[in-house]
């Protein structure tokens, strides 16, 4: 086939005619399987080559920041579930830590360990989806099914811990809603052992897969300089070889006690971003195991924070003081001193930041959510032009974004 084509083109050239490619404008999304949500791309093509891209976002804009200004700190926790809805537990934790920093509140070690386990399980769950869907985008169906089977088990664990599979709302300012259930940690450990085998299989299915290789290697290269200039964070930044991980460089939640490696890409192409995620899943599993091993005793909330964390139910029902305390917390919200704080946590998608401005009282004056997916997508107008149309799926799959977080 290739030969006949070449001869045909040669004929045209021999006749002195110019080869012309069609220019067209193409709209992808907002509802399209490759855009993983409601991203819309307005593209201009020259033949199969992309010449111009204008991403249109905002289809999932719900005004979370406006909503936050109208409710108490704890009332906003369920809204954080709906930012990066593939890792709600990690969002809960990031939000709680931001407000606690403003209140200058230290949570006990046990609470920190629970939060670390939550964050890392959320990372595993989110990356599994990212890897599985990336495989599917490039034509491999099986890894997607493997990943979803594992995520289903994770959801069962989340349900046991928080009462909800998806919208967990697990943290409160000053702690978490409840302690880990009996035997839960053992079940997490059993899951991790089982799950490592699936990761190995996933590795074998994709990493040296010829089709996957051809569709990702040298495609969508983000240089180190570009990654930093565009504010890209998370696995996408590390895929470009920038050694930056908030868990190690600005430890929170006691991450400094755990021993883990930070995988880095060398080139910054789609394949590197895939490899980084694959290794991060393994590292997360190792962190969870370490956390379970030295799981500290004690309370899962800050006991002395009487104006911030609600007392336990049996005390509310039997003691006057706790009853009043609970009433004030429910009606007026946790009392946070005036000031402003910016805190960002290393979430599966990148650095999720909360900028909280408080005038005192139970309601934030302003709350800004710095969404990693928003920043990661902002490089598309630079990244896509010059690539082929088929590469769009690879690039979008490798960036692993969530529109719920991007649009807020």
Partner 1 sequence: MNLLQTLDYLTERDSVGHEAYNCPTDKLLEAMTYLKNELGFSMLVDVTAIDNGENADSRFTSIYHLLNIANGELVRIACDCEGNEEPEVPSVTHLWPAADWHERETYDMFGIKFVGHPDLRRILMWDEYEYYPLRKEFPLAGHEVEYPEPDIVERTDLKVKAAPMAGGPFVASTSGPMSKSEPVAKDQSWREYNDKPE
1-9, 80-88, 174-182, 363-371 -> range binding partner 1 (CB under 8 A):
363-371
Q: Is 175 in the site for partner 1 (CB under 8 A)?
A: no
Q: What are phi and psi of 279, to 5 degrees?
A: -75, -35
Distance CA 320, CA 180 (A): 28
**Cβ of residue 271: shortest distance to partner 1, in angstroms?**
24
**Cβ of residue 382: shortest distance to partner 1, in angstroms?**
7
Distance CA 136, CA 132 (A): 6
Task: Pick the binder of partner 1 from 85, 155, 244, 295 (CB under 8 A).
Answer: 244
**Cβ of residue 8: shortest distance to partner 1, in angstroms?**
42
Map the footprint of partner 1 across residues 70-99, applying CB under 8 A.
70-72, 75
**Cβ of residue 303: shortest distance to partner 1, in angstroms?**
22
- Binding mask 25-64 toward partner 1 (x if CB under 8 A, else -) reads --------------------------------xx--x-x-
**Cβ of residue 376: shortest distance to partner 1, in angstroms?**
10
Of the pair 112, 358, the CB lying nearest partner 1 is at: 358
18-26, 44-52, 350-358, 396-404 -> range binding partner 1 (CB under 8 A):
350-358
Residue 244 makes CB contacts below 8 A (sequence gap 6+) with 233, 237, 238
Q: Is 404 in the site for partner 1 (CB under 8 A)?
A: no
Q: Is 341 in the site for partner 1 (CB under 8 A)?
A: yes
Return residues touching partner 1 (CB under 8 A): 57-58, 61, 63, 65-67, 70-72, 75, 101-102, 104, 228-231, 242, 244, 249-250, 330-333, 339-344, 351, 353, 355, 357, 361-363, 365-366, 368, 370, 374-375, 377-378, 382, 407-408
């Amino acid at each position: 086939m290739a030969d006949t084509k070449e001869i045909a083109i040669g004929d045209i050239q021999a006749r002195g005619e110019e080869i012309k490619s069609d220019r067209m404008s193409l709209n992808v999304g907002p509802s399209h399987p490759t855009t993983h949500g409601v991203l819309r791309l307005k593209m201009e093509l020259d033949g199969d080559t992309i010449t111009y891209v204008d991403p249109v976002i905002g289809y999932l804009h719900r005004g979370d920041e406006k909503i936050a200004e109208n409710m108490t700190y704890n009332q906003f926790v369920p809204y954080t579930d709906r930012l990066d809805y593939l890792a709600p537990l990690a969002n809960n934790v990031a939000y709680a830590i931001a407000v606690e920093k403003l209140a200058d509140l230290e949570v006990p070690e046990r609470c920190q360990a629970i939060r670390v386990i939550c964050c890392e399980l959320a990372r595993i769950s989110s990356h599994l989806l990212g890897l599985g869907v990336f495989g599917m985008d490039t034509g491999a169906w099986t890894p997607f099914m493997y990943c979803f089977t594992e995520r289903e088990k994770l959801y069962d664990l989340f349900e046991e811990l928080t009462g909800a599979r998806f919208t967990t709302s697990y943290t409160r300012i000053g702690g978490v809603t409840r302690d880990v259930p009996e035997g839960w940690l053992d079940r997490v450990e059993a899951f991790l052992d089982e799950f490592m085998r699936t990761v190995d299989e996933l590795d074998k299915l994709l990493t040296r897969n010829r089709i996957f290789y051809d569709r990702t290697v040298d495609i969508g290269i983000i240089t180190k300089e570009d990654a930093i200039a565009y504010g890209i964070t998370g696995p996408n930044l590390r895929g470009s070889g920038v050694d930056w991980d908030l868990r190690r460089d600005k430890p929170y939640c006691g991450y400094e006690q755990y021993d883990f490696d930070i995988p880095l890409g060398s080139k910054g192409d789609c394949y590197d971003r895939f490899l980084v995620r694959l290794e991060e899943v393994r590292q997360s599993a190792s962190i969870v195991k370490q956390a379970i091993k030295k799981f500290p005793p004690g309370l899962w909330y800050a006991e002395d924070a009487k104006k911030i964390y609600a007392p336990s139910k049996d005390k509310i029902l039997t003691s006057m003081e706790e009853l009043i305390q609970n009433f004030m917390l429910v009606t007026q919200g946790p009392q946070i001193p005036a000031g402003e704080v910016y805190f960002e946590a290393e979430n599966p998608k990148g650095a999720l930041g909360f900028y909280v401005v408080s005038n005192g009282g139970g309601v934030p004056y302003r709350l800004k959510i710095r969404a990693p997916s928003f920043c990661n997508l902002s490089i598309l107008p630079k990244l896509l032009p010059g690539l082929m149309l088929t590469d769009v799926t690879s690039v979008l799959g490798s960036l692993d974004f969530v529109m719920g977080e991007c649009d807020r």
